[in-house]
Structure 1
Amino acid sequence: MLWTSTVTSIVVLAASASAQLDNAYSPPSYPSPWMRGGNQWQDAYAKAQTFVSQLTLLEKINLTTGVGWEGEACVGNTGSIPRLNFRGFCLQDSPLGIRFADLATAWPSGMNVAATWQTRLFKSRGNGMGAEHRGKGVDVQLGPVAGPLGRVPAGGRNWEGFSPDPVLTGVAIAETIKGIQDEGVIANAKHFIMNEQEHERDKNGNLDAYSANVDDKTMHETYLWPFADAVRAGVASIMCSYNQINNSYGSQNSYALNYLLKNELDFQGFVLSDWWAQHTGVASALAGLDMTMAGDQGLASANTYWGGNLTAAVLNGTVPQWRLDDMVVRIMSAYYKVGRDTARVPVNFNSWSSETYGYIHPQSNEGYQQINFHVDVQDGHSRLAREIAGASTVMLKNVNNALPLKKPRSLAIIGEDAHDNPAGPNSCGDRGCNVGTLAMGWGSGTAQFPYLIAPVTALRAQAQKDRSLFVNVSNNYDFDAITKAASNAFVAIVFANADSGEGYINVGGNQGDRNNLTLWGGGDELIKRVASVNPNTIVVLHTVGAVIVEDMKNNPNITAILWAGLPGQESGNAITDILYGVRNPSAKSVFTWGKNREDWGVDVQYTFPTQPGQLNFNEGNFIDYRYFDANNIEPSYEFGFGLSYTNFSYSNLQIVKNDPGPYQPTVGMTKAAPTFGTIDYNEANAEFPTGFRAIFRYIYPYLSEPVPRNQTNNWPAMAFDSTPQPRIGSGGSAGGNRQLWDTMYTVSATVTNTGTVKGIEIPQLYIHLGGPSDPKIVLRGFDDLILDPNESQTFTYKITRRDISNWDTSSQNWVISSYPKTVYVGASSRNLPLKGILQ
Structure 2
Amino acid sequence: MRSSTLVALLTATSGSAAASVYKRDLAVSEPVYPSPWMNPKAKGWEQAYAQARDFVSQMTLLEKVNLTTGVGWQGEQCVGQTGSVPRLGLRSLCLQDSPLGIRFGDYVSAFSSGQTVAASFDRDLMYRRGQAMGEENKAKGVNVILGPVAGPLGRAPAGGRNWEGFSPDPYLTGIGMAETIKGIQDAGVIACAKHYILNEQEHFRQVPEAQGYGYNITETLSSNIDDKTMHELYLWPFADAVQAGVGSVMCSYQQINNSHGCQNSKTLNGLLKGELGFQGFVMSDWQAQHAGAASAVAGLDMSMPGDTLFNSGYSFWGANLTLAVLNGTVPEYRIDDMAMRIMAAFFLVGMEVDQPPINFDSWSTDTYGPIHYAANEGYQQINWHVDVQGDHGDLIQEIGAKSTVLLKNTGSLPLNKPRFLAVIGEDAGPNPLGPNGCSDRGCNMGTLAMGWGSGTANYPYLVTPLEALNAQAIKDHTRLEAILDNTASSTIEALVKQEGATSLVFVNADSGEGYINVDGNEGDRQNLTLWGNGDELIKNVSSLCNNTIVIIHSVGPTLVGDWYDSENVTAIVWAGLPGQESGNSLKQVLYGEVNPAARTPFTWAATREDYGADVLYEPNNGDKGPQQDYTEGIFIDYRALDSKNITPIFEFGFGLSYTTFEYANIQVEKQSAQDYQPTTGETAEAPTFGNFSTDLEDYAFPSSSFPYIWQYIYPYFNTTSSAKDASMDSEYGQTAEEFLPPGAIDSSAQPLAAAASGPEDLPGGNALLYDILYKVTAEVTNTGSLAGDEIPQLYVSLGGPDDAPVVLRGFDRITIEPGQTVTFTAELTRRDLSNWDVAAQDWLISEYPKTVYVGPSSRKLPLSATLS
TM superposition score category, shorter chain reference: over 0.9
Q: Distance in 1 between matches of 2:406 and 2:265?
A: 45
CA contact (8 A) 2:89 2:354 kept: no
Matched, 1:455 2:455: no
Which of residues 701, 716, 730 in structure 2 aligns to 1:702? 716
2:433 maps to which residue? 423
Separation in structure 2 between the aligned mates of residue 342 and residue 697 of structure 1, nearest angstrom: 27
Matched with 1:486 is 496
In 2: Cα distance, 1:92 partner to 1:575 partner = 30
1:740 to 754, 760, 769: 769
Q: Which residue number corresponds to residue 370 of structure 1?
A: 381
Partner of 1:605: 616
The answer for the alignment partner of 2:16 in structure 1 is none
CA contact under 8 A between 2:224 and 2:257: conserved in structure 1?
yes
CA distance in 1, matches of 2:336, 2:152: 31
Change (3 A) 1:426 1:669: same
Q: Secondary structure at the match of 1:681?
A: coil
2:396 corresponds in structure 1 to 385
Letter in 2 for 1:725: Q
The letter of the residue matching 1:791 is Q
Matches within 5 A, 1:666-677: 666-677=679-690
- From 601, 626, 629, give the equivalent of 2:639: 626
> In structure 1, which of residues 227, 237, 248 is the aligned counterpart of residue 248 of structure 2?
237
What is the aligned partner in structure 1 of residue 222 from structure 2? Answer: 211
RMSD (CA atoms): 1.3
| Corresponding residue for residue 687 of structure 1 | 700
Which residue in the other structure is 1:663 paired with?
Answer: 676
Quote how far apart the aligned CAs of 1:19 are: 11
Q: State the partner residue of 2:14.
A: none
Letter of the 2:343 counterpart: M
2:602 is aligned to: 591
**Alpha-carbon contact 1:591-1:624 (below 8 Å) kept:** yes
Contact 2:209–2:515 under 8 Å retained in 1: no
Q: Which residue does the alignment assign to 2:856?
A: 827
Name the aligned partner's letter for residue 717 of structure 2: L
Q: Compute the displacement of 1:581 (Å).
A: 0.4
| SS across alignment from 1:599 | helix
Deviation at 1:528, TM superposition (A): 1.1
Structure 1's 647 and 343: CA in aligned 2 closer, same or farther, altered over 3 A?
farther
2:27 to 15, 24, 38: 24
Per the TM alignment, residue 622 of structure 1 is displaced from its structure 2 partner at its CA by 0.3
- Measured after TM superposition, the shift of residue 552 of structure 1 is 2.6
Give the superposition deviation at 1:677.
Answer: 3.8
Deviation readout 1:338-394 (Å, 9 max, x if unpaired)? 011179421100000111111110101001111110101001000000000011100
1:729 matched to 2:729? The reply is no
Instruction: Give 3-state SS (helix, strand or coil) of 1:552's partner.
Output: coil
1:495 and 2:506 equivalent?
A: yes
Kept in 2: contact 1:670–1:727 (CA 8 A): yes
Q: Which deviations, in whole Å up to 9, do the C-alpha atoms of 1:136-175 show, x marking residues without a partner?
A: 0000000000000000000000000000000000001000
**Which of 255, 275, 278 is the aligned partner of 1:264?**
275
Preserved contact between residue 756 and residue 765 of structure 2 (Cα < 8 Å): yes
2:400 alignment partner AA: A
* Counterpart residue type for residue 693 of structure 2: D
Q: What is the CA deviation profile of residues 3-52 of structure 1, one whole-angstrom value per residue up to 9, with x for unaligned ones?
A: xxxxxxxxxxx367699995111000000000013111000000000000
Do the aligned residues in 1 keep the contact of 2:502 with 2:547 (CA within 8 Å)?
yes
Code of the aligned partner of 2:184: I
Is 1:356 aligned to residue 345 of structure 2? Answer: no
Map 1:184-583; keep pairs closer than 5 Å.
Answer: 184-204=188-208, 207-341=218-352, 344-399=355-410, 401-488=411-498, 489-583=500-594
Higher mean Cα deviation, 22-31 or 429-438? 22-31
Q: Indicate the SS of the match to 2:414.
A: coil
Q: What SS is found at the alignment partner of 1:713?
A: helix
Work out the percentage of aligned pairs sharing the same amino acid.
58
Say if 2:649 is the partner of 1:636: yes
Kept in 1: contact 2:3–2:224 (CA 8 A): no
User: How is 1:48-127 mapped onto 2 (pairs within 5 angstroms)?
Assistant: 48-127=52-131
- Structure-2 change in CA distance of 1:508 and 1:762 (3 Å): same
Say which of 778, 790, 815 aligns to 1:786. 815
Number of residues paired by the alignment? 825
CA distance in 1, matches of 2:123, 2:354: 25
C-alpha displacement of 1:409 = 0.7
- Distance, in Å, in 2 between the alignment partners of 1:588 and 1:558 is 20
Give the partner amino acid of 1:820: P
Once the 2 structures are TM-superposed, how far is the Cα of residue 704 of structure 1 from its aligned partner? Answer: 2.6
The residue type equivalent to 1:823 in the other structure is V
* Aligned partner of residue 717 in structure 1, secondary structure: coil
* Residues in 2 aligned to 1:670 and 1:342: alpha-carbon distance in whole angstroms: 30
TM norm structure 1: 0.97
Which deviates more, 245-254 or 339-348?
A: 339-348
Match of 2:38 in 1: 35
Aligned residue type for 1:707: A
Is residue 2:132 matched to residue 1:128? yes
Q: In 2, Cα distance between the equivalents of 1:467 and 1:741? A: 57
Provide closer, same or farther for how the CA distance between residues 482 and 261 of structure 1 changes in structure 2, counting only shifts above 3 A. Answer: same
Structure 2 gaps, min length 5: 8-23, 211-217, 725-732
* Residues 278-328 of structure 1, C-alpha deviations (whole Å, 9 max, x = no match): 000000000000000000001111110000000010111100110000000
SS at match of 2:379: strand
**Are the counterparts in 2 of residues 56 and 680 from structure 1 also a CA contact under 8 Å?**
no
Contact 1:134–1:343 under 8 Å retained in 2: no
Pick from 153, 160, 176 the counterpart of residue 157 of structure 2.
Answer: 153
> Is 2:797 aligned against 1:768?
yes
Is the 8 Å Cα contact of residues 89 and 139 (structure 1) preserved in structure 2? yes
Distance 1:389 1:667 in 2: 47
Q: Which residue of 1 aligns with 2:215?
A: none
Deviation, 1:205, is: 5.8
Deviations along 1:665-702, whole A, 9 cap, x unmatched? 11111111001243221111111012133100000001
Matched, 1:749 2:778: yes
Aligned to 1:46, which of 32, 50, 55? 50
Q: CA deviation at 1:662?
A: 1.1
Determine which of 701, 725, 742 is the counterpart of 1:717: 742
Deviations 1:443-464 (A, max 9, x none): 0000000000000000001001
Residue 503 of structure 1, CA deviation: 0.2
Would the alpha carbon gap of residues 797 and 343 (structure 1) be closer, same or farther in structure 2, given more than 3 Å must change? farther
Counterpart AA for 2:58 = Q
Superposed CA offset, 1:508-545 (max 9, x none): 00000000000101111111111111100100000000
Q: Quote the Cα distance in structure 1 between the aligned partners of 2:3 and 2:244.
A: 32
Query: 1:659 Cα deviation (Å)?
Result: 2.8
Do 1:134 and 1:344's aligned partners in 2 also have CA atoms closer than 8 Å? Answer: no
CA distance in 2, matches of 1:441, 1:410: 32
1:601 CA displacement = 2.2
Whichever residue aligns with residue 681 of structure 1, its letter is T
Amino acid at match of 2:235: L
Alignment pair present for 1:645 and 2:662: no
8 Å Cα contact 2:4/2:629 also seen in 1: no
2:353 and 2:32 mapped to 1: Cα distance? 37
Letter in 2 for 1:499: D
> Is the contact between residue 774 and residue 829 of structure 2 (CA under 8 Å) also seen in structure 1?
yes
TM superposition score normalised by structure 2: 0.94
1:240-276: CA deviations, max 9, x gaps?
0000001100000000000000010000000000000
